[in-house]
Amino acid sequence: MNRFVQLWRTSTVRLTATFILIFSIFAILLLAFIGWQSSLQLQRQQANDIDGEVRVLQRIVANQGIRAMAFALDRISRSPGPGVYYLGDATGQYLIGNVTDVPPEVLIEPGIYSFDYERANGLPMGTDGRPPRSGYAVVRSVELPNGMRLVVGRDVVERRGFSAIIVQSFFVGAIGIILFSLVAGGVTARRVLKRIDTIRDTSTKIMSGNLSERVPVTRRNDEFDGLATNLNAMLDRIEQLLQGLKEVTDNVAHDLKTPLTRLRNQAESALRDGASDEARREALETTIAESDRLIRTFNALLMIARAEAGAPSGALTDVDISAVVADMAELYGPVAEDEGITLETHVEPGVHLRANRELIGQAMVNLLENAVKYASPPDGSGGRITVGLRRIDGRVLVEVGDNGPGIPEPDRKRVLDRFVRLEASRSEPGSGLGLSLVDAVTRLHGGSFRIEDNAPGVRAVIDLPV
């Protein structure tokens, strides 16, 4: 009983039961309508047959006389079948026919009547070869020109038998429809509940801590497979985010431990007895510099988190990307010149996108700062930075290249992770968040970010859709 109550509480079972009820009512009403129309059609057919025979007999009377009509009536009344015939004189006395006794009202007033009757002996009436002795008939009574009474009708016992067959078929069909609907609904509800139970079991395992579990996908490619595919994609993304959160937490703890330790040591040395004012001043300046570095790291983390969370409503506007890239290149021109680096720009003018100007500008700042840091080639020759923007096949490519030592191909994807710094860059200041921020900003705008070989050096490419 409890199992049935639980099943009934599910929307699937209730919707299935509602469908079964609607379908059964419709099917039963349809069967009833068909049966009713069939019975009406039989009645119309019998009425038409009666009217047709009356008209034929009346034409015989008009064309050939009463005697010819009497011979014709006697002949057809002796034929097997459901026909009921009676011919009486002006007083209603029986003359010819397979029925000898007719109610007086039928003979007095012409019209349509129905009554029980006794058939005349020796006249075959039934289809089984034996003359039936009684029956129930629907007749039409007419008065002939010479005053005789003519009664023509049909026995309705066979029609009633057919109607009984229709009623019996109706009930059998109704019961069959209800049983079939229940079976079909039960099978459907069971299949749906089974798929739902699979999703629920998977979610229970995931909530228990097994993040690698996924909803099974069948080969039917139905709506449940579509739902399972979307859920699995969402679970993959959640697992990636949680893994990224774990890595970020570990990296933050690792990378912030050293500067915080330096801060503590500087503060402790400044508080020692005998420390000069100059030493204390130097300790405070070092503390401020380390604090600024920590603040920049946290600001970068916050900006990455906001970019990965998606743009808020109204954050994307029509931006002249060409102007943003050109302005950033012009801003870092003097910085590159101080480092002995040549900066070249190749910016296609008039390129507009729906974007966040501040985030695009910050991404360009990070790329240009990295290029300035690592543009000098190992052989000591002059460094060169190229900044470009071009539009190709509905895409906008923003490129920042240098001729520095470059990044090995196996590490080009790894450097996009947070706090990742290659061994060659450990001597340079930084937190390893610059390229991660560029990648997050690019994905926010529906694009992709990649590191390519610039032969020599590297080329950072921001690929955005128009």
The two structure tokens encoding residue 385: 């930075």
Is there a single domain that holds both residue 12 and residue 159? yes
Is there a single domain that holds both residue 389 and residue 413? yes
Instruction: Tell me: cis bond preceding 456? Omega within 30 of 0 counts.
Output: yes
Task: Report d(CA 348, CA 325) in Å as an integer.
Answer: 10
* Termini Cα distance of the chain: 61
CATH number (domain holding residue 356)? 3.30.565.10
Answer whether residue 219 is part of any domain: no
Query: Domain containing 423: what range?
Result: 317-465
Is there a single domain that holds both residue 183 and residue 300? no
Answer whether residue 345 is part of any domain: yes
Tens-digit pLDDT profile for residues 328-372 = 999 888 888 888 888 999 999 999 998 888 888 888 888 898 888
In terms of Cβ atoms closer than 10 Å to its own Cβ (0-12, 13-18, 19+), residue 375 is: buried
Answer whether residue 54 is part of any domain: yes
Single out the residue in 289, 309, 329 at which a domain terminates: 309
Task: Report d(CA 136, CA 84) in Å as an integer.
Answer: 10
Give the per-residue pLDDT at 282.
80
CATH number (domain holding residue 305)? 1.10.287.130
Give the per-residue pLDDT at 124.
46
Is there a single domain that holds both residue 188 and residue 239? no
Is there a single domain that holds both residue 289 and residue 382? no
Give the per-residue pLDDT at 121.
53
CATH number (domain holding residue 171)? 3.30.450.20
Is there a single domain that holds both residue 173 and residue 284? no
Answer whether residue 281 is part of any domain: yes
What is the spatial order of strands in the sheet that 134-143 belongs to? 94-97, 83-88, 149-155, 134-143, 111-118
Give the per-residue pLDDT at 7.
57
Q: Which residues of the chain are modeled with pLDDT < 70?
A: 1-13, 120-133, 158-163, 244, 247-256, 258, 273-275, 300-301, 303-315, 378-380, 418-432
Answer whether residue 218 is part of any domain: no
Single out the residue in 279, 309, 339 at which a domain terminates: 309
In the chain, how many domains are there?
A: 3
Is there a single domain that holds both residue 424 and residue 357? yes
Single out the residue in 258, 285, 309 at which a domain terminates: 309
Tens-digit pLDDT profile for residues 427-442 = 455 566 778 888 888 8
Is there a single domain that holds both residue 107 and residue 171? yes
Is there a single domain that holds both residue 302 and residue 354? no
The two structure tokens encoding residue 60: 């015989």
Is there a single domain that holds both residue 443 and residue 426? yes
Is there a single domain that holds both residue 132 and residue 153? yes
Is there a single domain that holds both residue 363 and residue 433? yes
